[in-house]
A and B are shown apart, each in its own frame.
Chain A
Amino acid sequence: MSTNINTIRDLAERDYKWGFVTEVEEERVPRGLNEDIIRLISAKKNEPEFMLEWRMKAYRYWASLAQSQAEPKWANIKYGPIDYQDIVYYSAPKQKAKLNSLDELDPEILRTYEKLGIPLAEQKMLAGVAVDAVFDSVSVATTFKEKLAERGVIFCSFSEAVEKHPELVKKYLGSVVPYTDNFFAALNAAVFSDGSFVYVPKGVRCPLELSTYFRINAAETGQFERTLIVADEGAYVSYLEGCTAPIRDENQLHAAVVELVALDHAQIKYSTVQNWYPGDKEGRGGIYNFVTKRGKCAGLNSKISWTQVETGSAITWKYPSCILQGDNSVGEFYSVALTNNYQQADTGTKMIHLGKNTSSTIVSKGISAGHGQNTYRGQVKILKGAAGARNYTQCDSLLIGEKCGAHTFPYIEVKNSSARMEHEASTSKIGEDQLFYLQQRGLKTEDAVSMIVNGFCKQVFRELPMEFAVEAQKLLSVSLEGSVG
């Protein structure tokens, strides 16, 4: 296997392809966190009083947790203490005035997107995708708004939503993930700078796949995004989220919150491809990704699907969940999480069954390579009223090499005896025999590894929108080019 090991080592030692920093003039608030900073952020964003109040409540709650050192420690991840006073909580590229078209965009930013291969302008439009690009913390470009507006779909930055649709924001903000939910959710609520907002009105099928590219660019700047998607009765929306970040030595904290609300007969499909800087091969640097994502199937026959392909970040702490409140509502979670080198991931989902005949499906594929540690943590809760609830969980781990680890923590709580639960789990290893077989048929080592891994992830990939699936496969091959031996 010596040749294999060498090839793979060479590939693994390739630098992070997307590591570069754009020089853009930034507007920052002073380092640290206190009530004045919260006021400053809110003022900079010209927010109405209710937002400031909410932020203040969140901040005070977070500060009380921070004081009692209530940062969650139960996850199977290890990292040094985070100094929350050493973070700059708001930075936005300076802009002179509102933009009318992409031509007015800072050319540096445009070039960054080009390097990332983000076809922000023409290509995406031709492909029928509206892009709300988030550069650092402020949305700098939005396309296809008119087309969406024709159908009454609101797709805009969070700031804009606060300004133009305060009643919707007020109604749904924090309704799925309250600021008291957890340490990081509280922090996000206090300091979030921007994000995306989607509202699809009654009976409307959103005509486009909505997509946002997040990007962390400013050094030592924690990024706190907040996304809120509401699908009104009978509405349908598919939202894509994808990202890469430039190389950095310092660890960067990212604590986002995503809330989804599906009313009667509504459907939300939320897909993520995440490729933030994972740190170097010695485990230095990389993004700390502490995210709270949760959807509420509030209405009858509603459905929420989470699909994620996670290959980036030094640490991932993320459990996209569904609260199945409406009768007959459906929750789905399809996940591929890859950890290579010294990456750590503690990820999974929660399916909380409240309504009758609710059903949930969990398909989790964990891939560990190098010294990567990959943990699946899932909770399925069937409450008393959830007669006829069903859950199917499949949880597979693939190990590449000898030094990585896969861990599984499924929690199942059933309080209604009519529930039906299925749980399948497997752990396998890319074996020398599998590799040799593919090589004997003419495939190079890296192609062989990627074929095996792509096969392993197929169930998840096929849940992704087509263009995303292709991107995800490429991403996996690149991230993976990393470790047999």
Chain B
Amino acid sequence: MSLLEIKNLHVTVAGQEILKGIDLAINSGEVHSIMGPNGSGKSTLAQVLARRETYQVTRGEVLFDGKDLLAMKPEEAACEGIFMAFQYPVEIPGISNTYFLRSALNAIRKYRGQDEMDAMDFLPMFREKLKLLDMEEKLMNRSVNEGFSGGEKKRNEILQMAVLEPKLAILDETDSGLDIDALRIVAKGVTAMRSPERGMLVVTHYQRLLNYIVPDFVHVLVDGRIVRSGGPELALELEEKGYGWIENEARQSAPASV
């Protein structure tokens, strides 16, 4: 059984169909990358998997760990083990990063019937994770993402991922707005989290992130459909030729538009 199984997924936003029949299976231990031009539906896919309710699923099904993901609320999906690193992390004034993360971790632990973690147990583990992402502890006493640079915000997302240890990690354009140094640190954190117990879905427009996080599979999303799947070499091909050729190809082979 796959960790994540997407079958014929159709999604509309405000009456417009964005995803037009996605099929994708991710096994534990695998890193998949979804690439595609702007507006192809990459982020929509990520958000639907994280159960954002502004998207309407009109057809298809998604199984996560054998359970019906589409019947879950966002917090249930999170507690079941889905984590999404946001493209635009939000700010929560007045709530410290440490407090926020411990609350999140304990909400998930509670859902799973585990004991809540107290500050004494939490801190040493947290410090380990901070090291992994080259983050200073004092940053953690500041409010969630408030006054963080773009790079700090993205690193903070990966830090959260490291603390919450999801079964499926979704990275929604984590590379956008990162300079090369920040990109390296983020990639290092993500790579350290690769594990046989974890699946990853890396959504990106550019190939450069995939130099650091080398995926097992690359899927190209064009106009709401996966038009090509392959290994990491497919990403390099796209980098070289751009999306134009694959878009043309897709257009020619696509079934008559609805």
For chain B residues 151-167, which have a beta carbon within 8 Å of chain A? 160, 164
| B93 interfacial contact with A, CB 8 Å | yes
| A458 interfacial contact with B, CB 8 Å | yes
State in angstroms the CA–CA spacing of A1 and B51 once bound together. 11
State in angstroms the CA–CA spacing of A439 and B104 once bound together. 9
| B126 interfacial contact with A, CB 8 Å | no
Q: Which residues of B contact A113 (CB under 8 A)?
A: none
Q: Which residues of B contact A1 (CB under 8 A)?
A: 53-54
| B243 interfacial contact with A, CB 8 Å | no
State in angstroms the CA–CA spacing of A456 and B95 once bound together. 8
B52 touches A436 (CB 8 A): yes
Kindly provide the distance from the CB of B88 to the nearest chain A CB, expressed in whole angstroms: 8
Kindly provide the distance from the CB of A480 to the nearest chain B CB, expressed in whole angstroms: 15
Per-position 1/0 for A441-452, Cβ under 8 A of B: 111110100011
Per-position 1/0 for A36-79, Cβ under 8 A of B: 00000000000000000000000000000000000000000000
B95 touches A454 (CB 8 A): yes
Kindly provide the distance from the CB of B203 to the nearest chain A CB, expressed in whole angstroms: 15
For chain A residues 451-485, which have a beta carbon within 8 Å of chain B? 451-452, 454-459
State in angstroms the CA–CA spacing of A267 and B90 once bound together. 40
| B79 interfacial contact with A, CB 8 Å | yes
| A22 interfacial contact with B, CB 8 Å | no
A441 touches B160 (CB 8 A): yes
A451 touches B95 (CB 8 A): yes
A441 touches B92 (CB 8 A): no
Q: Report which of B50, B53, B108 forms a contact with A4, defined as CB distance below 8 A.
A: B53
| B73 interfacial contact with A, CB 8 Å | yes
| A85 interfacial contact with B, CB 8 Å | no
| B169 interfacial contact with A, CB 8 Å | no
Q: Which residues of A contact B83 (CB under 8 A)?
A: 440-441
Which residue on chain B has the smallest CB distance to residue A447? B107
Kindly provide the distance from the CB of A463 to the nearest chain B CB, expressed in whole angstroms: 13
State in angstroms the CA–CA spacing of A437 and B143 once bound together. 15
Which residue on chain B has the smallest CB distance to residue A453? B94
B54 touches A441 (CB 8 A): no
B107 touches A2 (CB 8 A): no
A437 touches B160 (CB 8 A): no
| B103 interfacial contact with A, CB 8 Å | yes
Known contacts A3-B73, A443-B75; A438/B92 CB under 8 A: yes
Known contacts A3-B73, A436-B74, A437-B89; A442/B104 CB under 8 A: yes
State in angstroms the CA–CA spacing of A447 and B74 once bound together. 13
| A122 interfacial contact with B, CB 8 Å | no
Kindly provide the distance from the CB of B140 to the nearest chain A CB, expressed in whole angstroms: 15
| B217 interfacial contact with A, CB 8 Å | no
Per-position 1/0 for B54-94, Cβ under 8 A of A: 10000000000000000001110111000110101110111
| A417 interfacial contact with B, CB 8 Å | no
B52 touches A443 (CB 8 A): no
State in angstroms the CA–CA spacing of A451 and B54 once bound together. 22
| B111 interfacial contact with A, CB 8 Å | yes
Q: Which residues of A contact B89 (CB under 8 A)?
A: 437
Which residue on chain B has the smallest CB distance to residue A456? B94
| B100 interfacial contact with A, CB 8 Å | yes
Per-position 1/0 for A114-155, Cβ under 8 A of B: 000000000000000000000000000000000000000000
A452 touches B92 (CB 8 A): yes
A437 touches B86 (CB 8 A): yes
A457 touches B73 (CB 8 A): no
| A15 interfacial contact with B, CB 8 Å | no
- Specify the main secondary structure of chain A where it touches its partner: helix
Q: Report which of A432, A441, A456, A457 forms a contact with B104, defined as CB distance below 8 A.
A: A441
The total of chain A residues at the interface (CB under 8 A) is 27
State in angstroms the CA–CA spacing of A454 and B192 once bound together. 35
Q: Report which of A433, A442, A456 forms a contact with B107, defined as CB distance below 8 A.
A: A442
Q: Which residues of A contact B79 (CB under 8 A)?
A: 442
Q: Which residues of B contact A443 (CB under 8 A)?
A: 75, 103-104, 107
Known contacts A441-B78, A444-B75; A434/B103 CB under 8 A: no
A455 touches B78 (CB 8 A): no
Per-position 1/0 for B87-131, Cβ under 8 A of A: 011101111000010011101100100000000000000000000
Q: Which residues of B contact A437 (CB under 8 A)?
A: 86, 89-90, 92
Known contacts A439-B78, A442-B108, A447-B107; A3/B92 CB under 8 A: no
Q: Which residues of A contact B78 (CB under 8 A)?
A: 439-442
Kindly provide the distance from the CB of A454 to the nearest chain B CB, expressed in whole angstroms: 7
Q: Which residues of B contact A3 (CB under 8 A)?
A: 53, 73
Kindly provide the distance from the CB of A7 to the nearest chain B CB, expressed in whole angstroms: 9
Which residue on chain A has the smallest CB distance to residue B146? A455
B53 touches A434 (CB 8 A): no
B92 touches A458 (CB 8 A): no
Q: Which residues of A contact B160 (CB under 8 A)?
A: 441
Known contacts A1-B53, A440-B74; A455/B94 CB under 8 A: yes
State in angstroms the CA–CA spacing of A2 and B52 once bound together. 11
Q: Report which of B50, B94, B103, B143 forms a contact with A457, defined as CB distance below 8 A.
A: B94
Which residue on chain A has the smallest CB distance to residue B92? A455
Kindly provide the distance from the CB of A396 to the nearest chain B CB, expressed in whole angstroms: 9
Q: Which residues of B contact A444 (CB under 8 A)?
A: 75, 107
Q: Which residues of A contact B103 (CB under 8 A)?
A: 443, 447, 451
Which residue on chain B has the smallest CB distance to residue A433? B90
State in angstroms the CA–CA spacing of A439 and B92 once bound together. 13
Kindly provide the distance from the CB of B130 to the nearest chain A CB, expressed in whole angstroms: 17
Kindly provide the distance from the CB of B111 to the nearest chain A CB, expressed in whole angstroms: 7
B54 touches A459 (CB 8 A): no
B54 touches A432 (CB 8 A): yes
Kindly provide the distance from the CB of A334 to the nearest chain B CB, expressed in whole angstroms: 14
**Can you list 7 A-B contacts (CB < 8 A)?**
A2-B53, A436-B52, A441-B107, A442-B78, A442-B164, A458-B93, A458-B94
The 5 closest A-B pairs by CB, nearest first: A455-B94, A458-B94, A441-B104, A439-B74, A455-B95
